[in-house]
Structure 1
């Protein structure tokens, strides 16, 4: 990422590169980048003052259909522009697009849109973490399926008969990674040039599945990287005839795709990992215990921030490498929370509920806010550590089983409003109710096959 200390220095840097145009983007409620390309001359005029961006980005769903139940923006407001502010620290150059300069933006705090802007929400939570005397490091890792890209066939066939990029299960396979090695290597190399560095990438079990871990960083930077990762993988994939999908459950007969969030709290001077205590059992500090307790306590009321779509809950089923119970354990992949406290530098918590379809800003904000809640309240970790099968340990409760149940729990939760504010909770849960309504009215292939002839 270019090191710039001021807007004037940045503009000079871009001018020296003879930059003709600049790409800007904001992130909508579903974590989808919405943006535009503008001339360098236009960019110079808005770099400090900001620019108007239609607030419909928070008033429609992933398919660009306008909500009928949103208060902040809608037909009743006329979808005006809201003032978006460019974050010059996010400057990157897109190596697969002629090194065009790219910037992320969010919304001015004077705007109503700022209350529901996902990036703004994470910034607020991050400020609370710092006010409490901590520094949060985070990273998100993703699993995703890579399909053969033929958009014409997809739309003509109504998204049936999808073809994976490669065949067979082949988890951790060097063989399968080499089969499409140009794409595989481009992901690693181009993402690094785009300042989204990976710790590692490998094939995961399932036809055409990859998994990548993004290098950890400050929580806001971690979410920026995660959002840009998902979009970049798709853009790079298109250039190789590949259609990547981050659906949580692409096929009922194949594993789902996670977006696990790793997190740790450090001292403000960044010298001490506060999750680690070599004198305690498992090396888990008292602060980490309270953090885990906070997440377990809050999880039933914030689940849509980890599992935001109807499809999300088809991943959260027993025996499918995704958690279903309110459990934690040390290095156990069947529980909701996986503590990894082995090393002084690496001690962290992995929140495994999060799906690959999550909005990284909301997922990381939810992790930090719920963990910090436990720290502030000095919650005791009274939930026993799970030994063995986390799916079988239902002692402490189970997660809501669909988006409607999860959304109602969040909508009616004073705890969720305390963590994220009433305005955000009202808007976000309204969008999830809308999502459920759109799903509920559709006549599916399953219904036709089951009922059309026999009933």
Structure 2
């Protein structure tokens, strides 16, 4: 976006929209901003230019009257809405951060100056606070913040961080990042060194650059903050091994080719364990021994779950429901569906929150798929839907309906169905993952799909409020806590893109237990080796995710296979890591 003076250069004067009529009509603010953003995106795509009309035709005003509070509320609503709209535009790749900053100045200042020919010398928007919004004040570091954790999730699904003192972070690191060896993205779950064949070594360095809109105060440690990091090979250039950049890349393809975005909502299953050392032997004791949806289990863990819920809420993470699961000391917390790039970040934050608060209570929370081979397993089931201009386009209609799905929904899901054996190398990336994916365990062991069929790996869902002949989303059961969520979602999006490109069709759904059809159905990979073989031969995932990153992931998986085949007892060491 250019500066405000460019408006005068246009032959036709733009028709200005007011963005904050928030007091008289609560919907006007959001509609005006959203409509303007939509028009701007269409213009950018038609012309290939981002500096055309669009957001330069949007101007802030308020219906504030008589009382100071009315002006405050109007301004606050406008800022919140503009922040959400421009953040989504940046996530979708329609705007760069700098262009979003320019748009903010246009909306809140320059457009009015030009329209009314005002001559204002003093006053300008602080660029730094414009990006971060209400999450943090960058003009000064709050005195009680000591450390900032810079978070990333590696290709083996482990969360890692660099910690920087707050003073240095706000002075230097937030803009320049910190250095990290190439080898960090080639590490396995059992060794802090790159896997053979990963093509990543200790030679070479990237920058971990904080993504400031993701910065939050740690609710369980109020003197610290955490922020997600982008991996950059040089300033402004994403590294081809960066999981967050990979997910952005494939979602941009989905948007550019089909004008569709994907939303995701994760169900987090985890076990609470107590560590007990007896005669020098370390053991993990279940927190309780109750059953599925037990009121006693919830009552016993209520103080922990209340703190988890409050902390997630403070971090901007919306919990839809939570309950005790069927395993010993097992619980589930389901998160609200949101844009998939944001959902992946929030899943990492949710895991961090759950593990940290459990630790405060003297427990260990583990997302390991099958920590006890004689008990139930844990997954991170993910519900997915497709959206176009705030319309759910996965869901069918009276004129476009295949078992409740639209044609777009069917083709996307057919792509996921077709590539599911390869996808598992990202969503079920550990040998232990396949101890969980077994018949008759609600984990999806056979290649099939079904409506409200919890034994199928792909389940279409009809939640309350959706007409019974339609479905609003689909669930992937074979997604677990060892997965890097950005890479798992990237593989799913890549598969869906292939389905849309080739107009793939689904087979008929399975409406009963897939085990009853075992003679007709193909088993999904029964071990990590089989899923790695599928991924190795999958040209679509190599192309869309990136051949180098896929090669690294395969090398890590092979190293995991070899290590845990030789050291089956090493599984207990992973309870702290996942």
Q: TM-score, normalised by structure 2?
A: 0.70
Residue in 2 aligned with 1:107?
A: 231
Task: Check conservation: 1:259, 1:357, Cα contact below 8 A.
Answer: no
Task: Check conservation: 1:142, 1:259, Cα contact below 8 A.
Answer: yes
Task: Check conservation: 1:72, 1:427, Cα contact below 8 A.
Answer: yes
Name the CA shift for 1:371/1:31 in 2 (closer, same or farther; >3 Å).
same
Shift of 1:425: 1.2
Tell me, yes or no, if structure 1 residue 166 matches structure 2 residue 288.
yes
Q: Secondary structure at the match of 1:36?
A: strand
Tell me, yes or no, if structure 1 residue 47 matches structure 2 residue 174.
yes
Name the CA shift for 1:445/1:283 in 2 (closer, same or farther; >3 Å).
closer
Q: Distance in 2 between matches of 1:443 and 1:57?
A: 25
Aligned residues: 434
Residue in 2 aligned with 1:299?
A: 420
Residue in 2 aligned with 1:190?
A: 311
Q: Secondary structure at the match of 2:515?
A: helix
Q: Distance in 1 between matches of 2:278 and 2:499?
A: 46
Residue in 2 aligned with 1:366?
A: 491
Q: Secondary structure at the match of 1:221?
A: helix
Task: Check conservation: 1:7, 1:48, Cα contact below 8 A.
Answer: no
Residue in 1 aligned with 2:544?
A: 419
Residue in 1 aligned with 2:140?
A: 15
Tell me, yes or no, if structure 1 residue 277 matches structure 2 residue 402.
no
Name the CA shift for 1:108/1:346 in 2 (closer, same or farther; >3 Å).
farther
Task: Check conservation: 1:154, 1:162, Cα contact below 8 A.
Answer: no
Shift of 1:386: 0.4
Query: Aligned runs of 1:242-253 on 2, under 5 Å?
Result: 242-253=363-374
Query: Aligned runs of 1:166-245 on 2, under 5 Å?
Result: 166-168=288-290, 170-245=291-366
Q: Secondary structure at the match of 1:97?
A: coil
**Structure 1 residues 201-210 or 65-74, which shifts more?**
65-74
2:161 to 18, 35, 53: 35
Tell me, yes or no, if structure 1 residue 259 matches structure 2 residue 380.
yes
Q: Secondary structure at the match of 2:447?
A: coil
Residue in 2 aligned with 1:90?
A: 214
Q: Secondary structure at the match of 2:493?
A: helix
Q: Secondary structure at the match of 2:441?
A: coil
Name the CA shift for 1:327/1:14 in 2 (closer, same or farther; >3 Å).
farther
Name the CA shift for 1:119/1:255 in 2 (closer, same or farther; >3 Å).
same
2:502 to 370, 373, 377: 377
1:71-100 CA distance string (max 9 Å, x none)? 4422xxx34431222111101111110152
Shift of 1:424: 1.2
Task: Check conservation: 2:198, 2:553, Cα contact below 8 A.
Answer: no
Name the CA shift for 1:213/1:154 in 2 (closer, same or farther; >3 Å).
farther
Q: Distance in 2 between matches of 1:224 and 1:235?
A: 17
Task: Check conservation: 2:287, 2:329, Cα contact below 8 A.
Answer: yes
Residue in 2 aligned with 1:25?
A: 151
Tell me, yes or no, if structure 1 residue 131 matches structure 2 residue 256.
yes
Q: Secondary structure at the match of 2:526?
A: coil
Task: Check conservation: 1:404, 1:436, Cα contact below 8 A.
Answer: yes
Q: Distance in 2 between matches of 1:154 and 1:328?
A: 46
1:40-98 CA distance string (max 9 Å, x none)? 33212132233312333213222333234144422xxx344312221111011111101
Q: Distance in 1 between matches of 2:164 and 2:533?
A: 41
Q: Distance in 2 between matches of 1:310 and 1:291?
A: 28
Task: Check conservation: 1:82, 1:113, Cα contact below 8 A.
Answer: no
What is the CA RMSD across the aligned residues, in angstroms? 2.5
Q: Secondary structure at the match of 2:284?
A: coil
**Structure 1 residues 432-441 or 12-21, which shifts more?**
12-21
**Structure 1 residues 49-58 or 108-117, which shifts more?**
108-117
Q: Distance in 2 between matches of 1:301 and 1:348?
A: 21
Q: Distance in 2 between matches of 1:56 and 1:419?
A: 23
Q: TM-score, normalised by structure 1?
A: 0.89
Shift of 1:216: 1.3
Task: Check conservation: 2:396, 2:471, Cα contact below 8 A.
Answer: no
Structure 2 unaligned blocks of 5 or more: 1-79, 88-100, 102-126, 572-578
1:317 to 424, 438, 446: 438
Residue in 2 aligned with 1:388?
A: 512
Name the CA shift for 1:64/1:154 in 2 (closer, same or farther; >3 Å).
farther
Q: Secondary structure at the match of 1:224?
A: helix
